Amino acid sequence: MEGMFHMEKRKLSLPAWIFIGMAAGIVVGLISIALAKGNPDSAFLATFTTDWLKPIGTIYINLLKFLVVPVVLFSIADGVVSLKDLKRVGSVGLRTFVYYMCTTALAVVIGLILANIALGLNLFPTLETSGLAYEAKESPSVMQVIVNIFPDNLFKPMVNADMLPVIVIAVLLGAGILAAGDEGVGVGNAINKISKVVMEVMMMIIKITPIGVFCLMADVVSVNGPKIVGTLLLVILVAYIGYILHVVIVYGLSVKFLSKMSPLKFFKELAPAMICAFTTTSS
């Protein structure tokens, strides 16, 4: 009988803790503003969030940035090796590139449409821009963009976290392992193991995401005040409407017509990875 009435305690998911951290950060930021106004002579209260909380959030961001290159490098190389056929690498790579360019173009169109609608409805207040100057840089040609994708140095793209050249390096590394045949098997196994180790380190860092979000949000609210944060939330809302439309329409139709799979089933299976990417802004 006791077992019938026993209810297992459910632990909160990571996304739930992240939203809790965000809400707590907003509250602490507002409290910090109130205390600083009540004690205008206190330098400690005036800079508390910037001096003590923001550095913790910066450490969290630095750890994420630190892992971006190894995650991309080893996971893509491992994925290429898993294809087990060098011909498939070229075929999949070409189709992936074409698909990426098409979906990127559609994302730009959706973003421009939503931005113009939001501006037309005056959702965003006009900000003071006196004294500010901006000089637009000349856009590189299409061929120059393509040339820049292919690195002339092994380590420079990794140091600069330039993702497209890093992806090219990863694909070439995986292709080289496949081309080496039996002699490349050991290297491929090593990359597979390194990829798993790197992902374990990533999960360790992701677990402290609520703390990082709390510290960063507290400083943003404390420094900028609730008014600018409210404006920022409007911008974020419009952005996420665009994200949702892109995922549902573009990706949903792609899954339906290119892979002949149910979009609902696809997104259900992909949910853990999507939640991880969303909550850590890994892109």
Q: Out of 60-69, 134-143, 263-272, 273-282, which region has the weakest mean confidence (pLDDT)?
A: 273-282
For residue 114, pLDDT beyond 80: yes
Tell me the backbone φ, ψ of residue 92, rounded to 5 degrees. Answer: -65, -40
Give the C-alpha separation, 209 to 217, whole Å: 12
Query: Given a cut of 70, is residue 280 above it in pLDDT?
Result: no
Give the model confidence (pLDDT) of 90-109 as tens digits: 888 788 888 888 999 999 99
State both tokens at 74. Answer: 């080893």
Is the distance from CB of 246 to CB of 106 less than 8 angstroms? yes
pTM for this prediction: 0.75
pLDDT-wise least confident of 67-76, 103-112, 121-130, 256-265: 121-130
What is the average pLDDT score of the chain? 86
pLDDT for 5: 44
The answer to whether 200 and 35 have CB atoms below 8 angstroms apart is no
Integer Cα distance of 34 and 44 in angstroms: 13
**Angstrom distance (rounded) from CA 245 to CA 84:** 36
Look at the block and give the residue holding tokens 């080289």.
Answer: 176
What is the arithmetic mean of pLDDT over 191-210? 92
| Overall average pLDDT of the 221-237 stretch | 81
Mean pLDDT calculated for residue range 66-92: 89
Q: What is the DSSP letter of 9?
A: P
Q: Mean pLDDT, to the nearest integer, of 147-170?
A: 91
Would you mind telling me the total number of residues written for the chain in this entry? 283
